[in-house]
Amino acid sequence: MGHGVSCARTGDEHDFFRAAQLGDLDALGALLAADASLARRATLYDRLSPLHIAAANGRLEALSMFLDRGALPDAVDRHKQTPLMLAAMHGKIGCVLKLLHAGANILMFDSVHARTCLHHAAYYGHVDCLDAILSTARTTPVADSWGFARFVNVRDDHGATPLHLAARQGRPGSVQLLLENGAIVSALTGSYGFPGSTPLHLAARSGSLDCVRKLLAWGADRLQRDSAGRIAYVVAQKRHHGACAALLNPSSAEPMVWPSPLKFISELDPEAKALLEAALTEANREREKKILKDAKCSPQSPLQYDDNIDDDMFSEVSDTELCCICFDQACTIEVEDCGHQMCAPCTLALCCHNKPNPATLTMPSPACPFCRGSISRLVVAQTRADNADPDRPASPQLAHRRSRRSHNLSEGSSSFKGLSSAISKITRGSSRMADSESAAAMDKPEHDL
């Protein structure tokens, strides 16, 4: 830990702080029995309380003992860092949860960079600690006084939000969680990294392909410029991150973007969300493979997927209906209130077909492609076998899967035509090219970050 013992400490203080660091409960109990004030005392030099020592070292039982003896959860050291900040830095989730339960203030700022515990958890990539802090923020007065969205996007004294820090440090798990909780994907920094950098610029600078993927999938603008007029593509090129540069190249196919502006998307249950996220990952995987192949570079961090999936995997589900839009995958998503079902890729294509309006950040709400009714909610589809007669023969759709895959959609409704076109767009990736302004960005003078 590197926290030295000041010469101003008494012998008891020295023993007590040493026991706190080691988590020696017997020694701590004996010393506290002799002098209960030790649990609340800080050194004269570095102002570290026993609570700081226990939190940073993950000594949960010792920390609980100190809190029970009246230790202040918001005690600060000489850098105005609280025990909660130290626990978040070191990823000590048990201590984080205990301090939050004890009422530790999540809105305190240190004096080094004016960062909160949320900044520290994001910077070091401790997703469990980050999630605990965000969950607490939703149920504490922070939501009323500051507002949850403002807390998620809180800035340090260099203008960096937790998302900026996570992107710069290459923490994809933290990036994902922050985006899901309302982090602004296009926020600009003050002096952090390079003035006017977005999280995408910072991920490009660090060469974190996973962070670049996630930011693009949440609508990060590849054409947004920093204060030097550079787009993220130029930053990645400058740092020789070839795979990142290939994905960020404005002339490459545009990624599928998670349709977060839609109300029924923000209200998805975990199972349905997981299905759609997997469909999004698969769609962008196909796009990425083509881009990297054309760019003749291999990613340092390939997407995880299984190429050994049996093409007839649906035969294992004896009575699962195939999607009537693509005739290729099983229906996994159900539309409420009409009850029509689709596969996850077709549902994603339906929601992502139109981009959000950049002026209003709103997206036209899609209708059910079968009945044109409004979509109130998406849930995981129940298989036909759940309520079917056991003597009922298997669906003929499964018996003729391959022949139906080549079904002529031109005989269907216009709704199916448009959606099937969108499905093709998912698998191929958009071939849209950037305008002349995008090309001009590559000729800008390069400035180091």
CATH code where residue 404 lies: 3.30.40.10
- Please compute the mean of the pLDDT values over residues 250-254 and round it to a whole number: 91
* Burial class for 386, CB neighbours closer than 10 Å (0-12, 13-18, 19+): exposed
Lowest pLDDT segment from 30-44, 54-68, 164-178, 312-326 = 30-44
Lowest pLDDT segment from 80-84, 185-189, 418-422 = 418-422
Q: Residue for token digits 């969108």?
A: 422
Q: Which amino acid is at 212?
A: V
DSSP at 423:
H
Torsion 324-326-331-333 (CA) sign: negative
Together in a domain, 78 and 130: yes
Phi then psi for residue 249, to 5 deg, are: -60, 120
Residue 311 has pLDDT above 50, yes or no: no
Please tell me the distance from the alpha carbon of residue 9 to that of residue 29, in angstroms, as a whole number. Answer: 19
Alpha carbon distances (Å) from 225 to 97, 199, 233, 238: 39, 12, 10, 15
DSSP at 374:
B
Residue 43 has pLDDT above 60, yes or no: no
Together in a domain, 127 and 261: no
How many independent structural domains does the chain possess?
3
Q: What is the pLDDT of residue 197?
A: 96
* Burial class for 424, CB neighbours closer than 10 Å (0-12, 13-18, 19+): exposed
Please tell me the distance from the alpha carbon of residue 134 to that of residue 156, in angstroms, as a whole number. Answer: 17
* Burial class for 44, CB neighbours closer than 10 Å (0-12, 13-18, 19+): exposed
Long-range contacts of 305-314 (CB under 8 A, 24+ apart): 305/281, 312/401, 314/398, 314/401
Q: Mean pLDDT over all residues of the chain?
A: 77
Of the chain, the percentage scoring pLDDT greater than 90 comes to 43
Q: Which amino acid is at 350?
A: L
- Please compute the mean of the pLDDT values over residues 321-349 and round it to a whole number: 90
Together in a domain, 32 and 70: yes
Together in a domain, 148 and 27: yes
**What tokens were used for 315?**
């035969």
Together in a domain, 15 and 140: yes
Residue 66 has pLDDT above 60, yes or no: yes
DSSP at 31:
H
The answer to whether the CB of 108 falls within 8 A of the CB of 146 is no
Q: What is the pLDDT of residue 72?
A: 86
More confident residue, 59 or 409: 59
Together in a domain, 71 and 97: yes
The answer to whether the CB of 137 falls within 8 A of the CB of 148 is yes
Together in a domain, 297 and 326: no
More confident residue, 180 or 24: 180
Residue 91 has pLDDT above 60, yes or no: yes
The answer to whether the CB of 226 falls within 8 A of the CB of 402 is no
More confident residue, 94 or 310: 94
Residue 240 has pLDDT above 70, yes or no: yes
With bands split at pLDDT 50, 70 and 90, how would you rate the model's confidence at 48?
Answer: confident
More confident residue, 268 or 40: 268
Phi then psi for residue 334, to 5 deg, are: -115, 140
Range of the domain at 367: 317-384+395-423
Lowest pLDDT segment from 112-121, 156-165, 197-206, 395-404 = 395-404
Peptide bond into 210 cis (omega under 30): no
Together in a domain, 223 and 329: no
Together in a domain, 64 and 16: yes
Identify the domain boundary among 108, 141, 157: 157
Please tell me the distance from the alpha carbon of residue 169 to that of residue 432, in angstroms, as a whole number. Answer: 31
- Please compute the mean of the pLDDT values over residues 347-357 and round it to a whole number: 73
Together in a domain, 43 and 150: yes
Is 142 contained in some domain?
yes
Residue 3 has pLDDT above 60, yes or no: no
Is 194 contained in some domain?
yes
Residue 430 has pLDDT above 90, yes or no: no
With bands split at pLDDT 50, 70 and 90, how would you rate the model's confidence at 303?
Answer: low
Kindly report the CATH number assigned to the domain that includes residue 261: 1.25.40.20
Is 274 contained in some domain?
no
Of the candidates 252, 253, 256, 243, the one whose C-alpha atom is nearest the C-alpha of residue 283 is 256
Together in a domain, 143 and 210: no
**Would you call 181 helix, strand, or coil by DSSP?**
coil
Together in a domain, 297 and 321: no
With bands split at pLDDT 50, 70 and 90, how would you rate the model's confidence at 224?
Answer: very high
Lowest pLDDT segment from 75-84, 111-120, 405-414 = 405-414
